[in-house]
Structure 1
Amino acid sequence: MTVYVDPPAWPAHGTLFSHLVSDSSLAELHALAEAIGLSRRAFDLDHYDVAAERYDDAVAAGAVPVDGRELARRLGASGLRVPGRARRAAKADALLARWDALLPGARDVGVDLVERWHEPHREYHGPEHLVHALDSLALLEGRPAGVPDAAGTPDVHGSGPAPLAAGPTASVTQLAIWFHDAVHDGEAGRDEERSAELATTALAPHTDARAVAEIARLVLLTTHHDPAPDDRAGALVSDADLAILAAAPDRYARYVRQVRAEYAHVPDDAFRAGRAAVLRSLLDAGPLYRTPFAVERWEDRARANLVAELADLGR
């Protein structure tokens, strides 16, 4: 495992910046950044931005100097690289614009949510996951990615649009995705409870009680991803949250590394045992997905990813 840094060459904020990357481990990257006093807010999903005056500190701490082309090659080969489009979509400004289009007049709620999704301890459960889940939900609902549904939210009983919208353009399913990991402290079950409580409090001034209750219910459903057969809204939210399991192999591998980084404090043997138990429970619990689209397009690929990861853990 090696950390690399390129020369300061990227202008911003009145100075030049370098990039700091790892060839295999986000935990290793964070450790070196912490050693030289970099804030986690300097982390941009797959690299740290390092001001010119900290370049020598990075090298002294063990970062290997390389040119920009070599650094990009090393990052690409690491499996940790986040494509530029995904990184731009996860930026705070982009997410806030998306929120404003979804629920106009609730900017304060959006600002708080975006800050939460960008908390520095998040590796997988961060803004990239939020964007991916929102885009996956749009795909399941037949909307273009990034465009709020102005026609209302899907009926909770599965019969098409229903007047359960939380605002002029907001849908309950989209708001549930925004809130489903809004609290993420690594406490399974309790995180979802706190996220549902946050949704209830934050949305009460902006929508009716029936919509708020439904959003909270959908957030809690992501604890176990077990919607009832007639719960179409629950199926949509659950499938969107689990869409990452059906990602292409390179994206799935990055997801696996991100999950491991979130549990960097757990020893390898304990993590492998715990992660293997999670994977087996997913594989043994029946279908991963509940919507017809996801069952047809995602189920087989997701199971193949889970089986492959389980085999890697065994090795």
Structure 2
Amino acid sequence: MAILIDPPAWPAHGTLWSHLVSDTSYAELHAFARRLGFPRRSFDLDHYDVSAANYDRAVSLGAIPVAGREVVYRLRDSGLRVRQTDRAAITPLRRRQYLVEEWARLAHLLGVSTIASSWTALGEDLIERWNEPHRRYHDERHLEDVLLALDHLETRGERVAPETLLAAWFHDAVYTGAPGGVSDEQASADLAAATLGDLLSPELISRVHALILATTPASSPISAEEPGPVHDAEAAPKTEAASIAVSTVAAHTEPAVTLTPRTHGPSTGSNAKSTLGEEPQLGAESPSRDGARQTEQDDPDARSEIVDPARTLLLDADIWIFASLPKRYAEYAAAVRAEYAHVPDADFAVARASILEAYLARPHLYRTPAARALWETRARANVSREISELRNPTQAL
């Protein structure tokens, strides 16, 4: 049983990086990475990337320094190495494994017996919902991103309550995008209330219900200095020429106030970097990026925004995607476009650019100081780039 680390030799993001591995189990590796304060998002299928600034700290906590080749050999011999050619096939399997493990962990946090068949069945149903065939962006990858973002915020000193995690699991459990009638957020909240009744207290269920509804466009608070939307796109202008029904569905992922995604799923239910040496995942920060957590006294905006930490953490995690690495952001933007494939390109570009510009007009994209410190700069760069591409499509080719 050993945690191994090779010398910092892989260049990326203006520094050199090491690979942290276990020759015994991923569980051992995750536990050690947690001691270092690394978020789970830093895990890259078989290793964590460790910046040169964190190398000595990893060694001081017990990581054994070895040569780069030995890291590869020990991973291979233990059966834990993921080869480059296997990454595409392994990634979705690991995602599903992570979600199943997180659902079981959430049961422990909530005091629900993990042997309760109803809890297990509920988790399976939720995962099935997140994998409905009509989804493009609002799928289990989005759920994973939200949970990983909450985990990341927790490593920066935020307290992520169990009800926040549970609300994350349910927040897009119903996703149809249908205009009029009950919103997807309302349907998702009602689903939570209906399915959790035999497992949790009425007070906790009510809390989760309210958190899910907080992701509804009209219910998101807008502070005096923020004329644009806080969570969704209710303030974006309508494109009348498109003759598209207005729908306020999770606008951080769509230019949604004037666009309705075409879906064919059920309305309320369901039947049911690479391997070593490539670009590190966002999140393998050095101490220089950690920074002391900004307090409400330090930031007047924080005093006005952090009214309900559970809600603000959920909303920040829900738009983590804005701060993803460029490749992931491009995949996200393409997935959003696919959800509106029935909308003409010109109309989509106008509406999408308008909502993104409304976000940039806000003093902060994120509400919590931790999220701002981690993600604000990259998010603004990503959103600005997409706006430019939408406004000038020929230049993006």
Label 1:83 to 1:288 Cα distance change in 2 as closer, same or farther (>3 A): farther
Q: Which runs of 4+ in 1 moved over 6 A?
A: none
Match of 2:191 among 168, 187, 198: 198
Aligned to 1:175: 166
Contact 1:184–1:191 (8 Å) recurs in 2? yes
Q: Does 1:128 align with 2:145?
A: no
5+ long unaligned stretches in structure 1: 1-81, 144-151, 155-170
Match of 2:175 among 184, 190, 193: 184
Counting only pairs closer than 5 Å after superposition, residues 1-315 of structure 1 correspond to structure 2 as 86-91=91-96, 94-103=98-107, 104=114, 105=116, 106-142=119-155, 154=161, 171-187=162-178, 190-224=183-217, 226=221, 228-315=305-392
- Shifted more, 193-202 versus 97-106: the winner is 97-106
| Structure 2 residue identity aligned to 1:273 | V
5+ long unaligned stretches in structure 2: 1-86, 108-113, 222-229, 231-304, 393-397
Label 1:135 to 1:219 Cα distance change in 2 as closer, same or farther (>3 A): same
| Partner deviation per Cα, 1:176-209 (whole Å, 9 max, x = no partner) | 1100110111248811111111111111211111
Q: CA deviation at 1:83?
A: 5.3
Aligned to 2:269: none
Bigger Rg over Cα: 2
Label 1:137 to 1:267 Cα distance change in 2 as closer, same or farther (>3 A): same
Label 1:140 to 1:85 Cα distance change in 2 as closer, same or farther (>3 A): farther
Measure, in 2, the Cα distance between the counterparts of 1:138 and 1:222. Answer: 19
| Structure 1 residue identity aligned to 2:146 | A
| Partner deviation per Cα, 1:237-296 (whole Å, 9 max, x = no partner) | 011111010011111111101111111121111211121122122222331111211111
Measure, in 2, the Cα distance between the counterparts of 1:89 and 1:260. Answer: 26
Q: Which has the higher contact order (CA 8 A, sep 6+)?
A: 2
Contact 2:320–2:375 (8 Å) recurs in 1? yes
Measure, in 2, the Cα distance between the counterparts of 1:232 and 1:101. Answer: 21
Measure, in 1, the Cα distance between the counterparts of 2:370 and 2:122. Answer: 32
Under a length normalisation based on structure 1, what TM-score does the superposition of the two structures give? 0.62
Aligned length: 212
Contact 1:90–1:131 (8 Å) recurs in 2? yes
Q: Give 3-state SS (helix, strand or coil) of 2:306's partner.
A: coil
Q: What is the RMSD computed on CA atoms of the aligned residues?
A: 2.6
Measure, in 1, the Cα distance between the counterparts of 2:367 and 2:209. Answer: 20
Under a length normalisation based on structure 2, what TM-score does the superposition of the two structures give? 0.50
Label 1:86 to 1:289 Cα distance change in 2 as closer, same or farther (>3 A): farther
